A and B are shown apart, each in its own frame.
Chain A
Amino acid sequence: MSRARPWLYLLPTAAVLVPLFGYPVYMLGLLSVFDYRQAQVSGGQPTTFVGLGNYATVLGDPRFWQVLLQTVGFAAALVVATLAVGAALAVLLTRVSAFPRAALSLAALGAWAAPAMTGATVWMFLFDADLGLVNQALGIEGFNWFYDRWVTFGVVGATVVWHSFPLVMLTLYAGIQAIPGSVLEAAALDGASAWHAFWRVMVPMLRPLVTIVVIQSIIWDFKIFTQIYVMTSGGGIAGQNSVLNVYAYQTAFGSSEYGLGSAIGVIMTLILLVITLFYIRALHRTGERL
């Protein structure tokens, strides 16, 4: 009985995850090797097995490579920006009085809590060509922030960073607080500047935490969906601002190419799986017992 008990406790989890997580993952793979479009969904035409045909189509499409490259570049920029802002502010938090610290923590908590949808709508309004505060403040009339590809990425990126830096800031701040004060004092006595104390003392001591935060940010930023979908109305002018997640969704539900969309989804899952393996290794390095 005692050997079966853990499985008994895991039973409700399995009852949820097998049909609603495991099966869809399996089905995603299955759909990706079939020709599955609107005609097949409605039963007008039989579904045909096409093997790796969908993958060949996707990989042979220059558009896919462009979106992939764009996704990687956008995610990389977001990760760097989020970490730079988050880390700088975490250090700043350790050097300010109680009131500014409380104010910044509370503001960050608010940005973190705000739904992605809210962030998207408010930032869109701030950057609206005619009625937006930003154009008004900068004195540029009617400038459309959502026209040029890179300017659009910049605004969407700022929105994403606004959402994601608080987690990095608060996590790293908690980590810095856990460093014994004597270590930092010793560094200060030895004449280390704030800059050196950060890079030579804090960063090495926080390495495990930093690694986890970096990988979580990579995964998070690689999967961006809502902000792009909402702020650029489904991927921007002619899909110029599309990222993999939006591209897969649009291919499936926009163009009714469910097989092709699934193939893109599988490719994306595989990329994330590789990143996850690095994450698990990093967890192991920190000596966490699984």
Chain B
Amino acid sequence: MRHLANTVALVVAFLTAFPLYWMVVSAVKPAGEIQSLDVKPWTLHPTAEHFARVLTGEGFARYFLNSAIVALSVVVLSALVAFLAAVAVTRFTFRFRTTVLIMFLIAQMVPVEALTIPLFFVVRDLGLLNTLGSLVLVHLAFSLPFAIWMMRGFVAAVPEALEEAAMIDGAGRATILWRVLFPLVAPGLVATSVFSFITAWNDFVFARTFIISAKDSQTLPAALLVFFKPDENDWGGIMAASTLMTIPVLIFFVAVQRKLVSGLGGAVKD
């Protein structure tokens, strides 16, 4: 019985991992093997030609950098802003507190793709079309409600006695906030940041909508569409670019996986 369960689990693990394996293996296959009608699930002649073409010829090094700038800016800003807001809703009781919380919850459900229409005009009027700044602002706005919702659990988990002790020792409000509470919720901030990072890094629709004519400001997911050609898709290039796009998130995920699952516990129920 256990034997059977183990086998099933391994088969499912294999199937689940296979698309990622296929992506990497296709990225290093020589063009001849990719275009061959006799598909082999491995290659004996790994090559970096697709990566080289994608990074230099198609300017993906630039897009990679752009994606990183946007995602990291969003992570830092949203961590700071969400931390303050989470403190406000967990450490204080004030009028409309529940209303504010419910609004954060509702904001998470708004179909952001539908907001591309008004946001396109907002960004245009701000003169931010074709800039990375437009993407940072928009992703900051869309990652905040969830980040606050998640941070709330982490802030609540820190005993208030610690802050009271610091206050008795004569620490000021700012010291308590940034020197006591902030380091204590750092693990939570990391977990929250993963989500902000991923929303920003994976975004396709806003990059597609706001970055219309400036190739220099393109980010990875939208730039990938370059490879889709009506006659014949450059699969080697697509797989190499996909690999480049996936690796940072994979590393991020595996590095923080433990915190992630406990963080989700915090987000789902604290």
Interface residues of A (CB under 8 A from B): 3, 5-10, 12-13, 16-17, 19-21, 23-25, 27-28, 30-31, 89, 92-93, 95-97, 99-101, 103-104, 106-119, 121-123, 125-126, 128, 130-133, 136, 162, 166-167, 170-171, 174, 208-209, 212, 219, 222-223, 225-226, 229-230, 233, 245, 248-249, 252-253, 258, 261-262, 264-266, 268-269, 272-273, 275-276, 279-280, 286, 288, 290
Q: Give the residue of A24, A104, A114 whose beta carbon is less than 8 angstroms from that of B12.
A: A104
In the assembled complex, 12 residue pairs joining A and B whose CB atoms fall closer than 8 Å, in A order, are A9-B85, A13-B148, A89-B12, A107-B17, A113-B249, A114-B20, A115-B198, A119-B19, A121-B239, A131-B35, A170-B264, A286-B269
A92–B110 touching, CB < 8 Å: no
Chain B residues whose CB sits within 8 angstroms of the CB of A288 once the complex forms? 269-270
Please indicate the chain B residues that have their CB under 8 angstroms from the CB of A92 in the complex: 5, 8-9, 12
Contact A248 B114 (CB under 8 A): yes
Pick from A23, A229, A290: contact of B101, CB under 8 Å = A290
User: B: which residues have CB within 8 A of A?
Assistant: 1-2, 5-6, 8-10, 12-14, 16-17, 19-20, 22-23, 26, 34-35, 37-39, 41, 80-82, 84-85, 87-89, 91-92, 94, 97-98, 100-102, 105-107, 109-122, 137-138, 140-142, 144-145, 148, 173, 198, 201-202, 204-205, 209, 220-221, 224-225, 228, 233, 235, 238-239, 242, 245-246, 249-250, 252-254, 257, 261, 264-265, 268-270
| A119 CB contacts on chain B under 8 angstroms | 19
Report whether B22 and A280 are in contact in the complex, using a CB–CB cutoff of 8 Å: no
Closest 7 A-B residue pairs measured CB to CB? A265-B114, A27-B118, A20-B141, A9-B88, A100-B9, A113-B253, A6-B92
Contact status B118-A290, CB under 8 Å: no
> In the assembled complex, which residues on chain A have CB atoms less than 8 Å from the CB atom of B35?
131
For A209, give its contact among B23, B118, B204, B269 (CB under 8 Å). B269
Q: A27-B122, A171-B264 are in contact. List 7 more A-B contacts (CB 8 A).
A: A27-B118, A110-B250, A113-B246, A117-B242, A125-B239, A258-B117, A269-B110
CB contact under 8 A between A13 and B114, given known A103-B9, A104-B9, A110-B16: no
- Cα A248 to Cα B1 with chains together (Å): 50
Find the A residue at minimum CB distance from B137.
A20
Measured CB to CB, the nearest residue on chain B to A112 is B253
Q: Given the known A-B contacts A125-B22, A272-B111, are A133 and B201 also in contact in the complex, defined by CB atoms under 8 Å?
A: no
- If A114-B249, A123-B19 touch, does A100 touch B10 (CB 8 Å cutoff)? yes
Q: Are B119 and A24 in contact (CB under 8 A)?
A: yes
Distance to closest chain B CB from A245 (angstroms) = 5
Bound CA–CA A153/B97 (angstroms): 43
Chain A residues closer than 8 Å to B34, beta-carbon distance: 131
- Given known pairs A10-B100, A13-B84, A113-B198, the reply for A249 and B9 (CB within 8 Å) is no
CB distance from B174 to the nearest CB of A (A): 12
Cα A12 to Cα B198 with chains together (Å) = 22
Q: Tell whether, in the assembled complex, residue B245 and residue A117 are in contact, meaning their CB atoms are under 8 Å apart.
A: yes
B81 adjacent to A115 (CB under 8 Å): no
Could you say which of B22, B113, B115 contacts A133, with CB atoms under 8 Å apart? B22
Nearest CB in chain A: distance from B241 CB, A: 8
In contact, A6 and B94 (Cβ under 8 angstroms): yes
Taking the nearest CB of chain A, how far is it from the CB of B81, in angstroms? 4
Cα of A19 to Cα of B141 in the assembled complex, Å: 9
Kindly state the separation between the CA atoms of A30 and B175 in the bound complex, as whole angstroms.
45
